[in-house]
Amino acid sequence: MRSWRVVGALAAAGVALAACSSPSTNPSTSPGTAGPTPGAAAGQPVRVLYAGSLVNLMEHDIGPKFTAAEGYRFQGEGGGSDALANEIKGKVKQADVFISASPQTNSTLQGAAGGNAESWFATFASSPLVIGYSPKSRFAADLTSKPWQQVLAEPGFRLGRTDPTTDPKGKLAVQALNQVGLTSLASDQSGVFPETELIGRLQSGQLDAGFFYSAEAAPDKIPTITIPPVSLGAAYTVTVLNQAPNRAGAVAFVNYLLGHDGSSTLTADGFQVTSPPAVSGDKGAVPAGLHPLIPAP
């Protein structure tokens, strides 16, 4: 008799879990204020592919806080925005949410040419491009006292940047270098590294400086300088992918990111929040559960 009671209890729990994970009953479409969704943590994770410059934000702040608030398990992966978009389009990677560092990247996922991977996106934050440097570098004093373009051209200076073919920040770095006449540095591939490695290489002393977004450098306490006359930066976007396996979880995540708690975290981490989010693409395709934060057209 005891074994039947156990089986019955497990069956009842399964029914309750299925009911809680149904999109029609999931209350997590509120902007992250309703508390954890019952049973969400035991269901599918929310898979988020995000720009590599957001590793600290996603893995140490937004991801854990979202799980605590909404109950869904966060499963994130960072990388170059363009590279991730190509993997989504080529069906190499499947995800629920895509966060890019450039609206231009999103356009490659729309329509037949983009595999109809997404229909809309919302720009929610920005961060300027800066040069982050090692305080132990022999060029550190020069970077704070001389024109930055002059210092970068000094013999022996080791500059790091990301690949412009896979990452928007790499494109911006090339644009910045060309804008101030450092065309030879712009074409030099020796300082090109994956986005997720750049900070580590700087901190380990392999580089004197590198191109970063200001909000990316701040959590690791990397000193930075602005780069006038250049004025470039990241414009972060978010979307729920059309083939999201966990659509309810994706909506809950975007609601949390764009809601009060997510916006407060972004501001505290040095991002410039876009309020309200600027929506591009097919605004009619924005899920109804996001309308409190992204009004329907």
Q: What is the pLDDT of residues 221-247, one digit of tens each?
A: 999 999 999 999 999 999 999 999 999
272 domain residue, yes or no? yes
Contact in structure between 191 and 156 (CB atoms under 8 Å) = no
User: Do 115 and 240 fall within a single domain?
Assistant: yes
What is the C-alpha separation between 27 and 21, in angstroms, rounded? 10
Which tens digit of pLDDT belongs to each residue from 115-172?
999 999 999 999 999 999 999 999 999 999 999 999 999 999 999 999 999 999 999 9
Pairing of strands 209-213, 272-281: unpaired
3-state helix, strand, coil in the chain (%, to 5): 45, 20, 35
Q: Is the dihedral of CA 219, 223, 170, 235 positive or negative?
A: positive
70 domain residue, yes or no? yes
User: Do 111 and 243 fall within a single domain?
Assistant: yes
Looking at per-residue confidence, does 45 or 39 come out higher? 45
Contact in structure between 210 and 161 (CB atoms under 8 Å) = yes
Using alpha carbons, list the distances in angstroms from residue 148 to 131, 140, 227, 233: 9, 11, 7, 17
Any bridge partners for residue 63, and if so which?
Answer: none
User: Do 151 and 195 fall within a single domain?
Assistant: yes
Has this prediction a pTM greater than 0.75?
Answer: yes
Tell me which residue range forms the domain holding 59.
Answer: 35-126+235-290
pLDDT bin (cut points 50, 70, 90) of residue 71 is very high
Chain centroid to CA 19: how far?
31
CATH code at position 48: 3.40.190.10
